[in-house]
């Protein structure tokens, strides 16, 4: 850049600063997290005739709207330009490059990569653990792809596919045997365990996801959506999924290239097994670290049980970090010895919970206006949910189950030998729960817990009974329809 060009740029910058002082910021807009401000420069209307002594300000509707990217202060920029002018002669002797243009090009590339790989509005638009989680996820995908190339090479070598003319048919047969049977087995696995993918996504991802490839795909698709919903604090699920796909595609491609590079060095079995032995622990460690960093303020059965225990004992709720010493399995299981002796079954069926018709009738009478039922049978506290039950009903039911169990244990009440005491304990604990549930919900909110959803191993069991407010409303609606 010549001295004349620099002086011209400085004059333009000073003029811009002068004009900007007259402007008024009316809106700040964030484009992929990069802020820009909209300003309005008031215009002066055409002068009145000579007899007029004043000019009038133009209407706001005619004021021009302009915007600029939010940059460092104009004063600092002007100062840097002045310094550059004074030293331009020396710089021209050594370097003809333009640092400002290089910085601009670098910023453009950085902005393009940001738009390609990061959600709009990052980092404000995602959960705080997003960065750490996806760094470990990228490493896991990268190493896993490299390991996959090594495994494929070892498998083909063991089948003796050295001749190019035999490779096509043998690989096709291998795909049918491996992937075809794998797909068939995956269907039975999903049928049996899919209900717990939401409540225990980390456990399934770590325990099974690193062992069976096809089952891993199903588990990852299911559990990753659970993670994505928690990352999307602004509801931007689609954007996060798209950017995750871009990140994983890049990591997968780099991993495959690395794997090809590794096997190009040698095809000896000892070498391949050595590389496999090094990369596999890295892959499993990255999976473990990824799941450990995924700490969301989301209620599952284990966390809600521990939180209910703390509230009953101490009148307060704990934060996600405070619960960690009492949890195992990535926060999805209660650590043995955590002072929780109850065996709780959420979403139980009636035949699991009750022994007789009279017990069901008594329970529906006690819980007539609630959206759940409780029954203690064979050492298990069973919770049955009404078809209208929502997340707050689940929270209340767990708190009630804990309090009811405490009453039975402390008073040594046996349902079979002292039925009246059992029903009285059910009534008393319900009254206590209804009185304290609002305080419990407020305590959860103060610690940042999300109360709009609770995850547990939900098999879809729901009940309804005569006398419930919802059934009465339906009967009233049906009778009104008939009369009409």
Residue 467 has pLDDT above 60, yes or no: yes
- Of the pLDDT bands very low, low, confident and very high (cuts 50, 70, 90), residue 339 is confident
- Of the pLDDT bands very low, low, confident and very high (cuts 50, 70, 90), residue 246 is confident
pLDDT of residue 205: 61
Which token pair is 113? 């990569």
Residue 335 has pLDDT above 60, yes or no: yes
Can you tell me the mean pLDDT for 381-404?
Answer: 96
Can you tell me the mean pLDDT for 44-57?
Answer: 42
What is the residue-averaged pLDDT of the chain? 76
3-state percent breakdown (helix, strand, coil) of the chain, nearest 5: 60, 10, 25
Residue 118 · residue 243 · CB < 8 Å: yes
pLDDT of residue 297: 86
- Of the pLDDT bands very low, low, confident and very high (cuts 50, 70, 90), residue 185 is low
pLDDT of residue 219: 64
pLDDT of residue 397: 97
User: What is the residue-wise DSSP string for 219-250?
Assistant: HHHHHHHHHHHHH-TTS-HHHHHHHHHHHHHH
The DSSP secondary-structure symbol of 44 reads B
Range of lowest pLDDT (10-14, 114-118, 247-251, 304-308): 10-14
Which H helix or E strand runs over 377?
strand 372-377
Residue 330 has pLDDT above 80, yes or no: no
pLDDT of residue 53: 41
Can you tell me the mean pLDDT for 79-105?
Answer: 54
Can you tell me the mean pLDDT for 244-264?
Answer: 87
Higher-confidence residue of 215 and 451: namely 451
User: What is the residue-wise DSSP string for 135-174?
Assistant: HHHHHHHHHHHHHHHHHHHHHHHHTTTTSHHHHHHHHHHH
Residue 348 has pLDDT above 70, yes or no: yes
Residue 450 pairs in a beta bridge with: 298
pLDDT of residue 150: 81
Q: What is the pLDDT of residues 248-257, one digit of tens each?
A: 888 988 988 8
User: What is the residue-wise DSSP string for 465-481?
Assistant: -TT-HHHHHHHHHHHHH
CA distance 313 to 283: 42
Higher-confidence residue of 312 and 227: namely 312
């Amino acid at each position: 850049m010549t001295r004349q060009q620099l002086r011209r740029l400085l004059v333009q910058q000073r003029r811009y600063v002068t004009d900007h002082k007259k402007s008024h910021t009316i809106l700040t807009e964030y484009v992929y997290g990069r802020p820009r401000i909209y300003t309005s420069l008031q215009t002066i209307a055409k002068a009145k005739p000579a007899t007029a002594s004043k000019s009038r300000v133009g209407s706001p509707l005619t004021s021009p709207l302009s915007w600029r990217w939010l940059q460092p202060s104009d004063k600092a920029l002007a100062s840097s330009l002045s310094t550059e002018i004074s030293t331009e002669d020396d710089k021209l002797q050594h370097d003809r490059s333009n640092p400002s243009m290089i910085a601009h090009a670098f910023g453009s590339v950085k902005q393009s990569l940001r738009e390609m790989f990061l959600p709009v509005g990052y980092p404000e638009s995602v959960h705080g653990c997003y960065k750490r989680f996806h760094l470990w996820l990228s490493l896991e995908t990268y190493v896993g792809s490299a390991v996959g190339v090594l495994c494929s090479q070892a498998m083909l070598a063991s089948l003796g596919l050295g001749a190019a003319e035999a490779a096509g048919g043998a690989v096709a047969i291998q795909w049918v045997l491996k992937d075809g049977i794998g797909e068939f087995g995956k269907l039975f696995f999903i049928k049996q365990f899919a209900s717990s993918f939401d409540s225990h996504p980390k456990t399934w991802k770590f325990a099974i996801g690193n062992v069976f490839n096809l089952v891993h795909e199903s588990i990852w698709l299911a559990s990753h959506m659970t993670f994505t919903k928690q990352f999307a604090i602004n509801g931007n699920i689609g954007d996060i999924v798209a950017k995750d796909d871009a990140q994983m595609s890049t990591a997968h491609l780099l991993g495959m290239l690395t794997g090809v590079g590794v096997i190009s060095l040698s095809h000896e079995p000892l070498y391949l097994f050595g590389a496999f032995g090094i990369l596999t622990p890295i892959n499993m460690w990255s999976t473990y670290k990824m799941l450990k960093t995924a700490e969301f303020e989301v209620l599952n059965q284990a966390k809600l049980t521990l939180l209910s225990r703390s509230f009953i004992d101490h009148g307060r709720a704990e934060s996600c970090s405070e619960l960690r010493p009492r949890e195992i399995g990535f926060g999805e299981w209660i650590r043995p010895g955590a002072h929780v002796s109850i065996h709780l079954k959420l979403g139980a069926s009636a035949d699991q919970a009750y022994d007789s018709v009279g017990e069901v009738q008594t329970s529906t009478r006690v819980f007539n206006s609630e959206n759940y039922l409780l029954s203690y049978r064979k050492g298990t506290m069973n919770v049955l949910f009404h078809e209208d039950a929502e997340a707050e009903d689940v929270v209340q039911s767990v708190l009630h189950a804990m309090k009811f169990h405490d009453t039975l244990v402390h008073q040594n009440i046996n349902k079979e030998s002292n039925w009246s005491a059992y029903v009285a304990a059910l009534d008393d604990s319900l009254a206590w729960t209804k009185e304290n549930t609002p305080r419990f919900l407020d305590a959860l909110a103060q610690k940042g817990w999300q109360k709009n959803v609770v995850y547990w191993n939900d098999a879809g069991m729901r009940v309804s009974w005569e006398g419930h407010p919802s059934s009465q409303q339906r009967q009233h609606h049906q009778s009104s329809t008939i009369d009409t």
